[in-house]
Amino acid sequence: MTDGPVEASVLALDDLVARARALADAGPRQLLGIAGTPGAGKSTLAERIVAAVGPAARLVPMDGFHLAQSALARLGRADRKGAVDTFDANGYVSLLRRLHRKEPTSVWAPAFRRDIEEPVAGAIEVPPSVRLVVTEGNYLLFTDPPWDEVRSLLHEVWFLDLDARLRQRRLVARHEAYGRSPAEAAAWVHGSDEANAALVARTADRADLVVRLADALPG
């Protein structure tokens, strides 16, 4: 059983790399989005794509726009970090606009540090020479404002599909690796993460490609 309501195409990583290279060659700059539910392997796929394309590509994850932990605590949202309203969506859209119009100087993007569970400003440089920007995240296909503008700024969006049980096991292992007990990790995955996954899965039909990798990447 999968999360997405749309039938997925089974493709090899090499097929997706070839598609990304063709997109980069369409120039002068193309934006590729990789969406999917939590734990589907979006980050790993995006990293592999960027590494394969080389210096002409740059990865700019949506996770850099997590609200700071102090802001989440003040807003009463710390117990569901990762939900759609725990991101600076307007900031993310503004950055995508700048990347889309290919400014003559470098654009600096934030990154998310899992080891400290905080975003770090100005961590990713996107110079004018970059022809392919890859961005990945849960809510690239979300239809509520201001998220609804994201889709129009991306030249192509893939939705990464994965078996739900495997995805949940990956998420539990990830939360344990960053300090949660097995019980805490399982509770978070089957609570907050699954609520987010259900919301994200309903957006798959807005993607250009719904894909399941022939050989699943590490989460």
CA 197 to chain centre: 13
Q: Look at residue 215 and tell me if it is in a domain.
A: no
**Residue 99 neighbours by CB under 8 Å, 6+ apart:** 29, 31, 60, 107, 126, 133
Q: Could you give the number of structural domains in the chain?
A: 1
Q: Look at residue 4 and tell me if it is in a domain.
A: no
* Residue 5: burial class (beta carbons within 10 Å; 0-12, 13-18, 19+): exposed
Contact 172, 190 (CB under 8 A): no
Sign of torsion over alpha carbons 166, 3, 151, 208: positive
Q: Look at residue 65 and tell me if it is in a domain.
A: yes
Query: pLDDT tens digit string along 63-105?
Result: 999 999 999 999 999 988 889 999 999 999 999 999 999 999 9
Give me the domain span that covers residue 122: 9-209
Q: Look at residue 205 and tell me if it is in a domain.
A: yes
CATH number assigned to the domain comprising residue 75? 3.40.50.300
Q: Look at residue 1 and tell me if it is in a domain.
A: no
pLDDT tens for the chain, 219 residues long, are 344 446 788 999 999 999 999 999 998 999 999 999 888 889 999 999 999 999 999 999 999 999 999 999 999 999 888 899 999 999 999 999 999 999 999 999 999 998 888 999 999 999 999 999 999 999 999 999 999 999 999 999 999 998 777 777 777 777 677 777 878 777 766 767 788 888 899 999 999 999 998 776 665
Q: Look at residue 195 and tell me if it is in a domain.
A: yes
Q: Look at residue 219 and tell me if it is in a domain.
A: no
Q: Look at residue 218 and tell me if it is in a domain.
A: no
